[in-house]
Amino acid sequence: MTRPPLPAGFLQRIHGQLDAVGAVALARALAAAPAAGLRANPRHGPPEALAARLGWRASAVPWCHEGVVLEGPPGARGEAGRHPWHDGGAYYLQDPSAMGVVPLLDPHPGEAILDLAAAPGGKATHVEGRLRGRGVVWAHDATPARADALVSNLERWGATNAVVSQGDPRRLLGLVGRFDRVLVDAPCSGEGMFRKSDAARVRWSPERVRACSLMQATLLDHAADLVRPGGVLVYATCTFAPEEDEGAVAALLARRPDLELVDLDARGLRPVGTLPGDGPVGAGCVRWWPHRAVGDGHFAARLRRGEADATAVRDPGARGRQGVAGGRHGDGRPTPAAGPEAAAWRSFAEAVLGADPLPGHALLADDGHLLAVPPEALALAAPWRRAGVALGRVAVGRRGQRRFTPHHALSRVLPARGAAAARVDLELGDPRVAAFLRGEAIAVDALEGWGLVRAEGVPLGWVKASRGEANNHYPRGLRRDPARPPADADDEVA
């Protein structure tokens, strides 16, 4: 099938933006097939080892130690999207240039990180992996359906230290000045998606570039308020339009004297290149050009907020507000789990898991549902959709006994190897792996009651077994449909 051509207005602009050789090379690169990037979940080991265990040839992504590019036939990408370990969250399929943004943000364990435009979760899962179980990534998105995808991808990833919220960023007003690092991976005109997405080619127009830059300015103003004095703000797009990139950064700096650019060269952080002749702003910016580096193309800038506290002027009283994390959609608030609910969870954890997998997390109850919330999230008071790990539901039986049903998300946070006491360990080649992912009951030998299904160490989900047969508790929305096309990449155009 013929693809829509690159937009004429875009081609005209890049001929003004780059020299003749560069513009031709960029247009040619955008006609090439996308690279198959794979970012490993640190819970499942380094990416080279992961690719080797799966029998895929891979080369390192120089700016991201969790990333590799799969080599070999074009089919390798589809295979990676269909593999049971993809369903198990052992890796995330992500464009290699998109993997450069989180290393620039440089999150550290124990920190509070905000990802203000987070769906479907490429960067949020990357941040979560780098927190190593300490701290919190607060992942926000404006759109309800995309926020659902974000919850689902964070669950697949086995995130233990994430909170998801949705709506206008003004909903986060209570968190002004509270984040150590804030990422704005902004909605943009998506020129870097021209390889993957025909829709991005068709949608592009100079008006869209202008509309995006207005939206980006609003988001950046919110982000600048939300980062703490002395904290870091990273701005990223997957477009090449200077108005949305260096121009957006220059305009932000003009509006916000409390922000300054970090010189990336001086910190050895600029892996690829920038725009020729882009002036002083360029020192704090990096561009991954598809004709100069592997990947579809990305832009990022790193800024630092001065230590002087400007929030007092913008939102008096916002700093210092504390409380239990806000509650679903701002209505009912979760409370610390009561004795009987906590006891039902503990007896499940002891009998089925061997031990509480999240002993440092707070146990909260929300209308019969138990959540394990990272302590760092407890001080952040704003409405959320999901906080921490959904452990399961406690129901009261006819005789008043409490029954615990585990949530799918809990299966994903269990250690990849070792400790789940009750489990069904399958070889990757065992036909029961595919049957489980299709939602079918599977035969088991020595399991009665709840158990975790794993494919060579990677947790897939729950079954409940009785007399040799295990009922499938893999969520319906995730079950494999043979007619479903394989995931090409977990990232997609916004």
Both tokens of 296, joined, read 């579809």
Q: Would you say 448 and 478 are in contact if contact means Cβ atoms under 8 Å apart?
A: no
d(CA 225, CA 230): 12
- Give every strand in the sheet of 335-336, ordered side by side: 335-336, 362-366, 369-373, 389-396, 402-406
Nearer to ligand SAM, 141 or 341 (CB): 141
Q: Does the bond joining 383 to the residue before it have cis omega, within 30 degrees of 0?
A: no
Helix axes 246-255 and 206-226, enclosed angle (nearest 10):
40
Q: How far is the CB of 457 from ligand SAM (least distance, A)?
A: 26
| Cβ at position 212, least distance to ligand SAM in Å | 10
CB of 442 to ligand SAM, least distance (A): 33
**Distance of closest approach, residue 39 Cβ to ligand SAM, in angstroms:** 11
Closest by Cα among 133, 206, 136, 144 to 171:
144
SS3 163: strand
Q: How far apart are CA 287 and CA 246, in angstroms?
A: 10
Catalytic residue among 188, 212, 238, 285: 238
Residue 238 bears catalytic tag = yes
Nearer residue to ligand SAM within complex by CB, 51 or 183: 183
Of residues 64, 31, 23, the one with CA closest to residue 46: 64
DSSP string, 23-36: HHHHHHHHHSPPPE
| Min separation Cβ 183 and ligand SAM, Å | 7
Taking the complex as a whole, the smallest distance from the CB of residue 101 to ligand SAM amounts, in Å, to: 8
Q: Which is nearer to ligand SAM, 143 or 405 (CB)?
A: 143
The CA distance from 451 to 248, in Å, is 51
Q: Which residues of this chain interact with ligand SAM, rule CB under 6 A?
A: 116-123, 141-143, 146, 169, 185, 187, 219, 491, 494
Nearer to ligand SAM, 122 or 242 (CB): 122
Measured from the CB of residue 163, what is the shortest distance to ligand SAM in angstroms?
Answer: 15
Looking at the Cβ atoms of 98 and 465, the one nearer to ligand SAM is: 98
Q: Using CA atoms, how far apart are residues 472 and 477, in angstroms rounded to an integer? A: 13
Nearer to ligand SAM (CB atom), residue 35 or residue 470: 35
Q: Is the separation of the CB atoms in 371 and 407 below 8 Å? A: no
Q: Are 227 and 98 in contact (CB under 8 A)?
A: no
Q: Where are the alpha helices (DSSP H) in 195-288?
A: 198-203, 206-226, 246-255
Rounded-to-integer distance, Cα 374 and Cα 303, Å = 27
Q: Over the range 96-122, which residues count as b (16 or more CB within 10 Å of their CB) and which as e?
A: bbbbbbbbbbebeeebbbbbbbbbbbb
- Residue 463 or 494 having the CB closest to ligand SAM: 494
**Catalytic residue ranges:** 238
